[in-house]
Amino acid sequence: MANSFRNAQFLLETRLADAAQGNPDACFELGVAYSSGMDGVDVDLVQAHKWFNLGAMSGDERSQQCRADISFEMTAREIAEAQRQARAWLMETTRRAA
């Protein structure tokens, strides 16, 4: 269990740092982790949609497809929350870069 937690922490920390630099692959990988529970990350479709949305906004077709796929499993309210979180992430990373 502790090893799974460390894997999840490492994945999140490294991919979040890359995502903050605008890396669409990192966004896609975070989306996959949250949608599938990969490497011990808890399944969270709102987070998955957020990351797929951020990847899709960078033109990543895999993220576009995965975002569409998981949208069928989500409520309108969950999708709206994911979109709100994606906008907040963009605003925060833009502020840090300035």
Give the model confidence (pLDDT) of 12-42 as tens digits: 889 999 999 989 999 999 999 999 998 788 9
Rounded-to-integer distance, Cα 12 and Cα 17, Å: 8
Q: Please answer whether residues 62 and 51 qualify as being in contact, where contact means their C-beta atoms are separated by less than 8 angstroms.
A: no
- Provide the residue type at 14 as one letter: T
Enter the tokens of residue 24.
């669409």
φ/ψ of residue 35, rounded to 5: -85, -25
DSSP codes of every residue in 56-72:
HHTT-HHHHHHHHHHHT
- Across all residues in the chain, what is the average pLDDT? 91
Q: What's residue 41's pLDDT?
A: 87
pLDDT band at 4 (very low <50, low <70, confident <90, very high): low
Split into its structural domains, the chain has a count of 1
Name the residue range of residue 73's domain: 2-97
Higher pLDDT, 5 or 74: 74
User: CA 78 from chain center: how many Å?
Assistant: 14
